[in-house]
Structure 1
Amino acid sequence: MSHRILIADDHPLMRTALTQTIGQAIPGAVILEASRFDQIKPVLDTGEPPDIILLDLHMPGMSGLIGLMMLRSEHPAIPVIVVSASEDPVTIQRAIDYGASGFVPKSAPNTQIVEAIHAVLDGELWLPEINGGPETDAPDPAQRAATLTPQQLRVLAGIAEGKLNKQIAYEMNVAETTVKAHVTTILRKLGVLTRTQAAVLASQLALSSAPPPPVE
């Protein structure tokens, strides 16, 4: 299956560089482009929206993180990787808090953007290692898990059992893309980056089996 990837950046050279990098690393990928924020919506509203968005926070019309929040609110199933010239931990953490699934500095090597794309397409979060990464005063695991919805807890239980997204989707009778969206939200709420870390945290909480469905 070929992936559709939207590059939203106002710098032509940056779009060209990303297009070449992705084309070499992900054969068959369909690259879409936008140079202003108002060009993104028409692409997302087509019958074939992208599988992932690479987003510059400072493109015309973005309004920084406000544009990111608007995208996540209107199209929650499409993951976003912020590709930014900013590298400070505060900006990185805010981007993740406001819905980004990944953050890649523009100064990063090409291999990092490819790693980030693969990780996010698999439903994981991806962050650069900059001064140890963004620091958070995260609550304990039980408090974090308490923020999950019943559906998200069922997905987390499946992750803890080592199940693939398609297996979890089959058992829950939902689309695999829905499970991927849940996984991304779960990682963000739990304050972890990978499924493995989420599974470890789930095992600590004895979430070894899916909770019963809510009573109608």
Structure 2
Amino acid sequence: MRIFVVDDHPLMREAVVMLFRRIAPDATIVELDRLTPVISKAAEMGMPDLLCLDLKLPDTHGVSGVREMRAKFPHVPIVVLSASPASDFEDLSIDAGADLYLEKSSGAMHLTQALRVLVSTDSESTDTSNRLASPEKLSRRQRELLKHLDRGLSNRELAELMEISEHTVKVHLWRLFRRLSVKNRSQAVHWARTRGII
């Protein structure tokens, strides 16, 4: 697995890399302080399996970097890890093509929890070959999540019920949506209902 971490703040980039090394010790991690070299690094080292970007980089403005990376890497998961509150930039980042928005202020424990789910290579793998899921291939937690979604629970309610952070709920939802090839909660619930899961 190749993870590109793009952050122009050396200490923050180092902290993020340490988190990834802890949860994905076999991953190849490429550290960059701006977006410009990403394309050449991908050509040199291979396509990234995950892009982790800060929003405020020397060669970006707002969510322009997210939009640029989505255009260059249409199938690569993009995670924005930002110091800006989610209320300010989450929706803009998702609209620009990010898969997830995580706040740096969440703390190491919550970020580790979320990133571990993100890079997990267990039976919930989101590899393209597994994207078209059948009901039998869903994990117990994914089935549980679909039932909770059918009840209309919010991310906060899901976090309390499942005893995980809201960030981790977002990651679980993202992985579930990718697995089912759907874009949102209502499509996921429809998918589950038509297959008799809920």
Is residue 178 of structure 2 the alignment partner of residue 183 of structure 1? yes
Question: Is the Cα–Cα contact under 8 Å of residues 7 and 54 in structure 1 kept in the other structure?
Answer: yes
Is residue 196 of structure 2 the alignment partner of residue 202 of structure 1? no
CA distance in 1 between counterparts of 2:191 and 2:110 reads: 28
CA distance in 1 between counterparts of 2:91 and 2:58 reads: 22
Question: Is the Cα–Cα contact under 8 Å of residues 55 and 62 in structure 2 kept in the other structure?
Answer: yes
5+ residue gaps, structure 2, are 120-124, 139-174
Instruction: Give the residue type in structure 2 aligned to 1:58.
Output: K
Percent identity between matched residues is 29
Q: Choose from 114, 117, 120 the match for 1:116.
A: 114
Q: Give, in angstroms, the shift of residue 46 of structure 1.
A: 3.0
Written as runs of structure 1 = structure 2, the 5 A alignment for 1:139-178 is 155=132, 158-159=133-134, 161-163=135-137
Instruction: Give the residue type in structure 2 aligned to 1:51.
Output: D
Q: Residues 23-68 of structure 1, C-alpha deviation per residue, up to 9 Å, x if partnerless?
A: 1222222211110121222122335222111100111112221211
5+ residue gaps, structure 1, are 125-153, 165-179, 209-216
Give 1:75's aligned residue: 73
Question: Is the Cα–Cα contact under 8 Å of residues 55 and 80 in structure 1 kept in the other structure?
Answer: yes
Structure number with the higher helix fraction is 2
Question: Is the Cα–Cα contact under 8 Å of residues 101 and 184 in structure 1 kept in the other structure?
Answer: no
**Number of residue-to-residue matches in the alignment:** 152
Larger displacement relative to structure 2 (23-32 or 7-16): 23-32
The runs of 4+ residues in structure 1 deviating greater than 6 Å are none
3-state SS of paired residue (1:21): helix
Question: Is the Cα–Cα contact under 8 Å of residues 104 and 112 in structure 1 kept in the other structure?
Answer: no
CA distance in 2 between counterparts of 1:119 and 1:24 reads: 13
Aligned-pair Cα RMSD in Å? 3.0
Inter-CA distance 29–73: structure 2 relative to 1 (3 Å threshold): same
TM-score (norm 1): 0.60
Question: Is the Cα–Cα contact under 8 Å of residues 50 and 78 in structure 2 kept in the other structure?
Answer: yes
Q: Give, in angstroms, the shift of residue 201 of structure 1.
A: 3.1
3-state SS of paired residue (1:107): helix
Select the structure of larger CA radius of gyration.
1
Instruction: Give the residue type in structure 2 aligned to 1:80.
Output: I
Inter-CA distance 47–184: structure 2 relative to 1 (3 Å threshold): farther
Inter-CA distance 184–163: structure 2 relative to 1 (3 Å threshold): closer
